[in-house]
């Protein structure tokens, strides 16, 4: 099995783990039990973000010339900083705010404490923010794939 397939499999498994963890927290009968279940959810989210960013960063490194130094380690913050600034460099006139909103969501997800997930409404809101982050990652991957396809056609 290739590294890419292994990363894909691990990412898919991590994504299912995040969905299951969100479901467990949302299904908890009280604020106290949601807080007790939250550490598992937060670990799952961080692991998922790391795997997704390893994939996104790899795709973008292959597709685009490095405009910023590569991340020195595989942490969410380091990988996201590389992707964020490289994407900003490639689309300086993009004023959509998508990267900035994704940045705020990632920072928020990383800063969450179990007590922040006591209320179902909060858990739902963070699940929606994570889904928006995933949409941004998917868009960045599609952009990288399109750039690779253009380069392949040129050869």
In angstroms, rounded to a whole number, what is the distance separating the alpha carbons of residues 95 and 99?
9
8 A C-beta contact, residue 130 and residue 105: yes
Helices and strands, counts by H and E, the chain:
5, 0
pLDDT tens digits, 70-79: 877 779 999 9
SS3 129: helix
Least Cα distance to 113 among 42, 55, 28, 44 occurs for 42
Higher model confidence: residue 45 or residue 150? 45
In angstroms, rounded to a whole number, what is the distance separating the alpha carbons of residues 47 and 18?
9
The Cα-based distances of 67 to 2, 31, 62, 95, 150 in angstroms read: 27, 46, 12, 20, 19
Tokens of 136: 């941004």
Whose tokens are 């380690």? That residue is 73
Higher model confidence: residue 11 or residue 92? 11
Instruction: State the average pLDDT for the chain.
Output: 92
pLDDT tens digits, 5-29: 899 999 999 999 999 999 999 999 9
Mutual angle of helices 120-154 and 31-63, in 10-degree steps = 10
Question: Domain count of the chain?
Answer: 1
* Host domain of residue 42: 2-154
8 A C-beta contact, residue 41 and residue 22: yes
Tokens of 139: 């868009």
Strands (E) across 87-148 are located at none
pLDDT tens digits, 102-132: 999 999 999 999 999 999 999 999 999 999 9
Report the pLDDT value the prediction gives residue 1, as an integer from 0 to 100: 39
């Amino acid at each position: 099995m290739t590294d890419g397939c292994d990363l894909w499999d691990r990412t898919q498994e991590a994504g299912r783990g995040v969905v299951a963890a969100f479901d467990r927290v949302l299904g908890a009968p009280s604020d106290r039990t949601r807080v007790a279940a939250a550490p598992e959810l937060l670990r799952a989210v961080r692991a998922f973000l790391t795997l997704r960013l390893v994939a996104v960063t790899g795709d973008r490194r292959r597709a685009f010339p490095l405009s910023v130094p590569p991340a020195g380690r595989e942490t969410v913050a380091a990988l996201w900083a590389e992707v964020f600034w490289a994407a900003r460099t490639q689309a300086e006139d993009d004023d959509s705010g998508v990267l900035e909103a994704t940045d705020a969501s990632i920072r928020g997800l990383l800063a969450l404490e179990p007590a922040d997930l006591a209320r179902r409404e909060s858990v739902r809101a963070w699940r929606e923010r994570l889904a928006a982050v995933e949409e941004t990652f998917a868009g960045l991957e599609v952009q990288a794939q399109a750039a690779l396809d253009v380069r392949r056609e040129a050869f």
